[in-house]
A and B are shown apart, each in its own frame.
Chain A
Amino acid sequence: MTTTALDGRPPQGSGPVARPRRSELQAERVRAARLFLLPMMIALMAVAAWPLLRTIWFSFTNTSLSNLSGGEWIGFSNYLTWRTLESGRTIWRGTLVDPAWWNAVYNTFRFAIISVGLETVLGLLVALVLNAEFRGRAIVRAAVLIPWAIPTIVSAKLWAWLFNDQFGMVNDMLMSLGIISQKVAWTANADTAFWAVIIVDVWKTTPFMALLCLAGLQMIPRDMYEAAKIDGIHPVKVFFKVTLPLVKPALMVAVIFRMLDALRIFDLIYVLTPNSPATKTMSIISRENLIDFDKFAYGSAQSTLLFLIIALCVILYIWLGKVDLGGTK
């Protein structure tokens, strides 16, 4: 306990703390704080820390779904193991040499980068439009929120219907416009399934990005634009020299949050393109192994790898960006 200010002021200096005793008030406050934090800590332990440790433990065993307590320690076998045959040929096994896993890793990152990239650009554009003053702006802003308010599962079903190969609106429209000559199975076709997922995700999440960008834009004082206008600076130049740098900090935080979200995508793909290998992500195949294929331990290993990959991304980002995530203003 270095300082005793009542507010959330940052710690003043880090000199020697010669404070053997604490006043009654501070003692009471710190005691209360501990008590207040306890239930939350216990809850997070129960639902986050403990299950995570168990998942990691399972990944080193041969536990099966039907016998959760019967697993035996098998070391790294779920990750990587090899056996040399008498012929001298070495057979590698485990997640780390499983092409399905690496395909999922590739799909996940491809999805995350493309969708978040598109959402950021489109979100910024929509925010710029909404930031202008025009009649009916409130209605437009409300309309933009609708995709965000729709549950992911519902939007997945919605778009599955729009993308339906026989009766879907998309095929109908594109054919009547003469863009395609025969009906396309958007969600089943390996070439188009990935882009179908991207379209739905971008449609659903762009409003979120737009709102965050808009909040950032509205913090820029108007007179800054007026000053630029008086100086006769071209609007495009104003955008890149004034607007973008000012919105960037808020935008970067939004991007990282979205990125972490995209890396763990599950529900949209599970409903929209359940069987296409082109859209199987890390979460999807982990769950397949865990629950559907009765390869519980193997799935645990994949879950653990996903956790490590995301943790690595976060650490890298904090380290590179030196973002102030601590909330100490």
Chain B
Amino acid sequence: MAQLQLNDVRKSYGSVDVIKGVNLQIEDGEFMVFVGPSGCGKSTLLRLIAGLEDITSGDLIFDNERVNDLAPSKRGIAMVFQSYALYPHMKVYDNMAFGMKLAKAGEAEIRARVEKAAKMLQIDHLLDRLPKQLSGGQRQRVAIGRAIVRDPRVFLFDEPLSNLDAALRVATRLEIARLHHAMNNVTMIYVTHDQVEAMTLADRICVLKDGLVMQVGTPTELYEKPNSIFVAGFIGSPQMNFINGQIAKGFGAHTIGIRSEHMVVDNVSPVWSGEVVHAENLGSDNYLFVDIGSEEPVLVRQEGKTSIPWGAKIGVRPIEENLHRFDEHGRPIR
């Protein structure tokens, strides 16, 4: 249970600035996701919060207390690492109990806490095994269990799903969402490069690029009201269509952006028209790539099975209220 505040936090290695002044408030019990392309500094930011790296300048505040120089173990955090980072020579029980043993907690209390966490994650039958005897998914649960046992104020996840295969990743994602609801007074910070994970898990998302915060908001806010071309393009799958040049000028913008689901096929009163150059049928949806004379063909989503053959000439119309207009600096025009 903690409220976190980052005031102009910076991190540099020698002359290389990695985090260039981050201001951010994370509320009590919130699930905050840091997302961004690789090298944006999201993992570094998490490690600064954890205390594994020193903050070059700025303040990191946990519940009105400045913790910049406090050792990680005294910050009341727990961390789940990408590679699980289980102690290979310790049984699952000892892995989970290690932190409490170091804190000199009583044997009975340790056992109670470990067993409670294990039951919660359904790994109570694995307590006597070594990490190498577990599957990837089970190891990840043990890593999460080890974090739970620490009873942290803040729970930190560093790309915890990226070593799992696709099916397991979805299952574990649900698990983490469930955990967040079960422990709804614990603040969680989660780093990922996968915007789907960000959208499905987060209360709020913080989009980072080149060591700077681009936008912070709920998934819906980011999706509907991106404050830059970068965020508009990063959030949402498939990626938003961007159109430059003459077509955009017609809308009074340098660039316009429209998501594929906000385009309709309209042969009666089309805004643009063109040839279908490619189509992908995913069963539930049908994606059409339409060449309307922009740099790239635009993507149009059609629900259901209506099939339009390749090479067909069709008209399309963007839904006006969902159209995003951007100026030459990539800022939205509202």
Q: In this assembly, does B319 line the interface, its C-beta being within 8 Å of a C-beta of chain A?
A: no
Q: Cβ of B71 and Cβ of A24 under 8 Å apart?
A: yes
Is A69 part of the binding interface, using a Cβ–Cβ cutoff of 8 Å? no
| B14 contact from A13, A23, A25, A26, Cβ within 8 A | A13
A5–B13 Cα distance when bound, in Å, is 9
Q: Which of A14-22, A157-165, A182-190 contacts B (4 or more CB under 8 A)?
A: A14-22
Stretch at the interface among B50-58, B122-130, B300-308: B50-58
Say yes or no: is B15 at the interface (Cβ < 8 Å to chain A): yes
Residues of A contacting B74 in the complex (Cβ-Cβ under 8 angstroms): 24
> Are B15 and A25 closer than 8 Å at their CB atoms?
no
Asked whether B13 lies within 8 Å of A25 as measured between CB atoms, the reply is no
Q: Is the CB of A15 within 8 A of B71?
A: no
Q: Indicate whether A24 sits within 8 Å of B15 (C-beta atoms), given known contacts A4-B53, A4-B54, A6-B52.
A: no
Minimum CB distance partner of A22 in chain B? B54
B16 at the interface (CB under 8 A from A): yes
Size category, B interface: 10 to 19
A90 within 8 A of B: no
Q: Is B69 an interface residue (CB 8 A)?
A: yes
Query: Does the CB pair A5–B70 fall under 8 Å?
Result: no
Interface centre among B12, B51, B55 (most CB of A within 10 A): B12
Partner of A25, one of B16, B56, B71: B71
Q: When the two chains form their complex, are residues A13 and B16 in contact, meaning their CB atoms are under 8 A apart?
A: yes
Whether A23 and B54, one on each chain, are in contact in the complex, defined by CB atoms closer than 8 angstroms, is yes
Q: How far is it, in angstroms, between the C-alpha of A6 and the C-alpha of B52 when the chains are bound?
A: 8
With A4-B53, A6-B52 already in contact, the answer to whether A23 and B15 are too (CB < 8 A) is no
In the assembled complex, the Cα of A13 lies from the Cα of B70 at a distance in Å of 26
* B15–A16 CB distance below 8 A: yes
B76 within 8 A of partner (CB): no
Interface status of A81 (Cβ within 8 A of chain B): no
Within 8 A of A (CB), among B1-56: 12-16, 51-56
Cβ-based interface call for B68 (8 A) = yes
**Contacting residues, chain A, for B12 (C-beta < 8 A):** 15
Which residues from 161 to 219 on chain A have a C-beta closer than 8 Å to any C-beta of chain B?
A: none
- Write out the residue numbers on chain A whose beta carbons fall within 8 Å of the beta carbon of B274: none
Task: Kindly name the residue among A12, A25, A26, A28 whose own CB sees the greatest number of chain B CB atoms within 10 A.
Answer: A25
Contact: A12 with B68, CB < 8 Å? Answer: no
Q: Cβ of A16: which chain B residues have Cβ within 8 Å of it?
A: 15
Dominant secondary structure at the A interface: loop
Bound complex: CA of A308 vs CA of B180, how far in Å? 68
Indicate if the CB atoms of B69 and A24 lie closer than 8 Å. Answer: yes
Tell whether A15 pairs with B14 under 8 Å between CB atoms, given A21-B69, A23-B69: yes
Residue of A3, A22, A24 touching B70 (CB-CB under 8 A): A24
A89 to chain B, nearest CB (A): 66
| A14 in contact with B53 (CB, 8 Å) | no
Question: With A4-B54, A6-B52 known to touch, is A14 a contact of B15 (CB < 8 Å)?
Answer: yes
B292 CB → nearest A CB, Å? 47
Let me know if A3 and B14 touch, CB within 8 A: yes
Task: Give CA–CA (A19, B71) in the complex, Å.
Answer: 17
Whole-angstrom distance between the Cβ of B33 and the nearest chain A Cβ: 25
Given known contacts A4-B54, A5-B53, A25-B51, A12 and B13 CB-to-CB distance under 8 angstroms:
yes
Q: Is A11 an interface residue (CB 8 A)?
A: yes
Contact between chains at B16 and A23 (CB < 8 Å) = no
Most-contacted residue by chain A among B14, B56, B70 (CB, 10 A): B14
The yes or no answer to A275 lying at the interface (CB within 8 A) is no
Query: Within 8 Å CB of B70, what residues of A?
Result: 23-24
Known A-B contacts A4-B54, A5-B53, A6-B52; A28 and B13 likewise in contact (beta carbons under 8 Å): no
The minimal Cβ–Cβ distance linking A27 to chain B, given in whole angstroms, is 8
Given A23-B51, A25-B51: A11 touches B14 (CB 8 Å cut-off): yes
Assess whether B52 is in contact with A14, with CB atoms less than 8 Å apart: no
Interchain CB contact under 8 A, A23 and B71: yes
Q: What's the least CB distance linking A11 to chain B, in Å?
A: 7
Determine if B137 is an interface residue (Cβ-Cβ < 8 Å): no
Docked-complex contact A12 and B14, CB < 8 angstroms: yes
* B60-74 at interface with A (beta carbon < 8 Å): 68-72, 74
Q: Which residues of A contact B56 (CB under 8 A)?
A: 18-19
Q: State the Cβ distance, B286 to closest chain A Cβ, in Å.
A: 44
Q: Contacts A4-B53, A4-B54 given: A23-B13 contact, CB under 8 Å? A: no
Q: Pick from A3, A5, A13, A23: contact of B68, CB below 8 A.
A: A23
- The distance in angstroms between the C-alpha atoms of A11 and B15, with both chains bound, is 11
B residues within 8 A CB of A11? 13-14
Can you give 26 A-B contacts (C-beta < 8 A)?
Answer: A3-B14, A4-B54, A5-B13, A5-B53, A11-B13, A11-B14, A13-B14, A14-B14, A15-B12, A15-B14, A15-B15, A17-B14, A18-B56, A19-B54, A21-B69, A22-B69, A23-B51, A23-B68, A23-B69, A24-B69, A24-B70, A24-B74, A25-B51, A25-B52, A25-B54, A28-B71
Known: A2-B14, A15-B14, A19-B54. 18 other contacts (CB 8 A): A5-B13, A12-B13, A12-B16, A13-B13, A13-B15, A17-B14, A18-B56, A19-B56, A22-B69, A23-B69, A23-B70, A24-B70, A24-B74, A25-B51, A25-B52, A25-B72, A26-B54, A28-B71
Closest 6 CB pairs of A and B: A15-B15, A13-B14, A12-B13, A15-B14, A13-B15, A23-B69
Residues of A whose CB lies within 8 Å of any CB of B are 2-6, 11-19, 21-26, 28
